[in-house]
Each structure stands twice: as structure tokens, then as C-alpha cells.
Structure 1
Amino acid sequence: MVGLNNDTSGRFFPTTPNASCYYPSTGHEVALAGLVKALEFGEPFALLIGQPGLGKTLLAQILLQRLENPKAVAFLPHARFDNTLGLLKGILFDLGLSSVKQTAQELRMDLTEKLYESFAEHGPALIIQDEAHLLHPELLEEYRLIGNLETGGGRAAQVVLLSQPDILETLKKSYFESFRQRITFCPTLEPLGKYEAADYLIHHARIAQKLPGYFTESALEKLVSFSCGIPRILNQVGELSHQQVTQAGQNRLDLEHVQTAIELLKRPWLQVRENKEFDLLQNIDRVQGPEVRLLNHGELGRTA
């Protein structure tokens, strides 16, 4: 399996998904429980929805840690496949399998045979596809076919799709009616609430063995407000702020360090994110319901 690379740069905040730095927010744990349940129930598909920067890839890492000894795992970190042939080759490669077949149909048959053989020895293979919203319709159809592979003892493979919300519009098309019916677990990630965003920062300070009071209150409020609870932005501005502390030879991160970090980012699409109403006293918990189910008539509905 390739594609799950932990950050080893020694940064205060990681630049890539790093399971050792995972912060178990309420929303992430609820979504994770939904994915685990889908796999335990033998569902062919699970779909994790989230806007950019909310931690979908990291949650996939944690999912693999939570599962009981998954044997055959493929993690495809991108969806930039030109055609079905490229996708099938990618799955085979990441499962550690090889094939000399040259056409899509031959590769499909070869993959099917290898998945059945793997199931007999290890149980169902797990295929995780990141950036699933970028998959062409024919590639989504290929995943549907893979999810349909069954033996007398169960499914030969289960598929977890990690996607931005765009995929929901794609799946509403009548062409994907059969696909929709097979997705019963679709947890959604939301930005961190105010207190959890602040605790996320403190969590990273603990990992870096910083004192509990490393962040001043005004610094925390500014970091949380600027990020709107998006972990990736918390990482970016948090790391730049920490660098200001280090360069100044100081031992506390204060508001001035954060303001300097925001200026250094020089990214208008980030700077306009700052919301003055995003304070620590309002909307403590922005976590939405635990699951979104794709209803048979094609609409999206949230379950309690």
C-alpha cells in the first residue's frame, strides 16, 4: 500500500496527514464510527464527505488503525486516471499485485480473480479512493462493479470513497441510481467548533511538549477566528505563528505572532475567511448529524 505518508519534518504542525498528531474531535470520531460500522456490516461502499482541509485523508489513516488487521489494502491518493485501464492498474499496484494484461477487460478479469483469491485467504480487500469527486463517471461505474464482487462467504472487496461534496450532485443523476442504492453510510465532516478548534491547537502544543500556557488567549482567539475551524488552515497559520516565536527566541505565542503569520500568508482567499462573528461564545458545536443517507428517490437526507 502506498499513498499514506506521515510528515517527519519535525514541524510544530504537520504539512501532510500524520496519524500520530490526530485530534479526535467529536465530528471526526462520529464520522470514523460510521465508516467502521459500514465495513463491519459488510457494506460494499462507504462515502466520506468533507470540504477541503477538514481531514478526510487523515481519517482514512486512523480508520486503518482502528480496523482489526486489514490484510489487503489499497489506498489511491488521487483520482487522476485517464481511463478504466489506469484505475485498474492503480488498484492492482497498490494491492501489491501484478498483471501482464493489456486491455481493460483483461485487467478487470485478472483483478476479479485476484480479489477472490485474496478473500479466500485474508477476507475482503479494502480499497480507499481519495479525491473521489474527480472520478469520471465510467470510473465510478468501475467501482460499482468491484463492490458487486461476492463470494459464498461475503464481498470480495469493500470501497471507501473520500470526497468533496461535489460528488453528491454527480450521484443524483439517474445514471447512478444503482450506485446510490448501495451507499447507506455517508458521514460528513464539518469544521471544528470554537472550543474544539482552540483545543486542537493546544493538542499540538502538547505533542510538541510545550507548556500549557504556550498560547495567549488573544492568540488562540485570533487563530480560531481566522481559520473558521478548518484544520488545514489552523495548521498553516499555527506553524507560521510558531516560527515567529522561535525566530524571536521567545517561549509564548501571542497575538502579534499570529498577525505577522497572517500577513506572511499573503493569500487573499484565506484572509477573507476571517469572520468577526466566529468567537468562542457562539455556536460551540457545529458538528452536524452523524450520517447522511442517500435515499432511494435520489435526494439527500440526514438521519438522527
Structure 2
Amino acid sequence: MASKHVVPSPDAVFSSPDPFEEFLARRTPEERASILARQKQANLGYTAVRLQCLDSAGQEIRGAYASGFVRLEGGKNFLYTCWHVVSGYGAPLRLAVKHRQDRAALRVFVQLVEKRGAYEAIGGLDQLDLPLLDSTGLPLWLQEPDEQEQPDLNAIGLRVPRNVDVVKLEMPSSFAVSSLTLLREEFSSIGPLAGDRISVVGYPHGYSADGEDDLTAVVLTRNVAAGMTRQGLPHRLIVDGPGTPGMSGAPVFIWDQQGHPRLFGIYSGIIHPGTGRLQHHEYAASLGECFRLCNLCGENGPGLVASGALRRRSA
């Protein structure tokens, strides 16, 4: 049986002072900042959700698992993951159009949450099947406004983002997401430099650290290997090691100078400087690809748009 973590609800109102707040009030500003940073670090494993792709018959597609995260925007919850996860055709910069994919829904696994007055009891497993296509076959997800021409995919109703491997889908308001999972912060605008530390939070090969019935993601530590120096790819970031299959769509956090993890972007996948099929012994020499999202999805960014809207605009 899954253990329960009991935490205050984010909108809770207490009739008496919260003990933790009283504890913080007795600490110096530096001590408070350190305690809150460590608390956020301890909860990083709850910030990702596990995903499984389903076909049009509602069956799980073998090996088609991924990660994602849920962010509160304008009073609504949105699931973020990668474009290649929902389409099945590879990342926009590394398309693989060999045969038609049949991806109709995402099964979203989260920590089960129960409201207990001013608190939440978190533990166990809850799931939601989120459709990817509407009744006409148009994608329901939102993606980068800029697109690249891909006649084969355009012909079946898919628009391909020019650079950024990210999508988001609105989640039903009736589906509960715990306060430890729901991200409310803005995407960080920290300019990454080579050597900066980042954390990638996800489910390698669908693996949960606390077992399948009580989700806790794995937190991988990586360092920035190359900042966003190429003018044509202003959102792309290269890190010094890859994740594993199942990590695509994972939230990426960058660590600021005060030791706080800040929501930064999304992990896309493995890249390899060579060409051809990646051999097992070459994996250690591979790199990882992430995308910074503040310039695209932040307060002053253009935001993500409906793929169907892109089709109508180009018609």
C-alpha cells in the first residue's frame, strides 16, 4: 500500500499560525532561503508525471512511454511534453518519417491526492486518458507558432514545429493534481552558461523510484555543455549527458546562485555528434538536448498555438 504524504493545500487558510511558518520566522533571512531551497530540492521528484502513449484502440503502444509536467496557467492546468512524444515522428530537428504513427491519446499517471480539510494527502496512483486528436483528426495540442514544411506530414494534418520540441494540452478541471506536482512558477530567464548545473526530472524507461503504484520521478544532474550561441536556434541547450528513453518531456530546472532550482524548460532527448545508428559503446559520448521555454511560453513570449490554427492560417 502506498504511503501518504500530508502537506498543506496551497490555498489553505489556517485559524492558528502554521508551525513551519513559525519555525521559518525564527530564522535569519539566509537560513530561511537555504531551508526553502532544500525543501524545493527534496520535492523535485514529485514535479514530473509519467506518460504512456495509446493507439486509436485505446491500447498502450509498446515502448512509447515518456515524461511530462503540469503547469498552472490562467487558472487552468496544462500538461507539457515533447512534440515527438505526441506525434511519434521524432524531434523537429531530427524527423523520422518512415511509416504512419497511430498515437491517439496519452495516459497520464500522477500521484493520487485526497483533500483533507486544509491539507492534501498525497500517495498512490491516479490516471487520466487525455485525447490527442479531435473528432476531425486535428491535433488538440498547442505547439510552437513557427513551422517547417514537411509535405508528407502536412498531408495527414500534422504541422511540424521549426525548432522547439514542446507541446501542451489542457487538462480537465475535474482531475486533481497535487500541490507538489502542479508548477505555478514562471519559466526562468536565467541565461545558461557552460558549466551551469541543471536537473532533469522524469521516468527513465517508465521507472518510478517508489514503484509503479506510488510515483516518484528520478532526478538526473547534468551540466550545460553549450549555451544558446547559435542564432538560428535561440531556445536550444546542449547538456553534457543524455537521459534515457522515457525522459522525453521531463521538466528541466536550472540552479541559481542562491542554490534554488528554477523551472527552466523541457528535456527533448539524446543527440550524438556522429552519424548513423548509435552503438551501445558510444552512449557515454552522447549529449542531451533541452529547450529553454521562457522566451516562447513566458509572460512576454508568443506562446504556443493550436496546430489546427496553423493549418487554417496556411490554407
- The structure whose Rg is larger is 1
**More strand by proportion, 1 or 2?**
2
Same fold? TM cut 0.5: no
Q: Name which structure has the greater RCO, CA cutoff 8 Å, separation 6+.
A: 1
TM-score using structure 2 length: 0.25
TM-score using structure 1 length: 0.26
